[in-house]
Chain A
Amino acid sequence: MNIVGKKIGLSTQVFSAMILGAVFGLLFGGVMVKLEFIGTIWLNCIKMIVVPMVLMTIITGITSQKDLKSLGRIAVRIMVYYVLTTLVATVIGLATASVLKPGVHANFTGLASKEVSGSTDITIAQFFTNMFSSNMFVTFSESNILQTVVIAVMLGVAIMLVKNDEHREKLISGANALCSMVFSLIGMIMKASPSESSS
């Protein structure tokens, strides 16, 4: 977006839209409540792109390797990276929320409550069993990221193991093309983020 010949960055647009949205919400509350669906559409688009993004980035990451020898190390690295970053993200999220306590000043009266069931203990065997999907389409539709990562690793390895050189090269270039498409789609969705922030 250009204003008076000066390019405005996306983050500036998002923050400006948030402030404008707050002001418009206070001035024209009824209209803005009716426009809430714009934000829901954007959130749906973000959720929609998560699984394809994880899938295609991992597949292209694996297929960009020169030989099969490095694949094992890459697969282990991906899993270790995924588990560690998720663990640290959880710790950071819990620590930040514990320190700042964002729910202290919130008023929840009038909001629907839902009983949350307690956590269940799972064995290591169950954890590893749950990593492997019995139906990849169910995994994608449920946005199960751990299973998606495993499927992506398996698909990437499968592409590398295709014996027919021509077919393998076609699959690799197809995966690269799909990855470019996914990132193009992410770019499209992110360009719409200021409108979501304001609504």
Chain B
Amino acid sequence: MGASFGKYGTSIFTSMATLLGTYYLACILQVLLVYGLVLWFAAGISPPLHPRQR
């Protein structure tokens, strides 16, 4: 992050924020939709309760 801002300055902020936002949104969708459903149907574990069950 420091190197990117050091090289390109504030002009990179919008594109960097959109890129990171897209990446994190895709990851959240994958975790919730795919792994959540697999956890629910294949293992019978409720995804919202999983972190507490560990």
Contacts and interface: CB of A to CB of B under 8 A. Distances in A.
B49 interface: no
Contacts of B9: 26, 29
Nearest to A94: B26
A35 B25 contact: no
Contact of B18 (A21, A33, A39, A105): A105
A160 B22 CA distance: 43
A96 B18 contact: no
Interface in A77-123: 81, 85, 88-89, 92-93, 96-97, 100-107
B6 interface: yes
Interface residues of B, number: 27
B14 interface: yes
Interface residues of A, number: 35
A177 B13 CA distance: 44
Given A89-B30, A92-B26, A92-B33, A36 B3 contact: yes
Given A33-B3, A92-B29, A100-B21, 10 more contacts: A21-B1, A21-B2, A22-B2, A35-B2, A39-B3, A92-B30, A97-B26, A102-B21, A102-B22, A199-B2
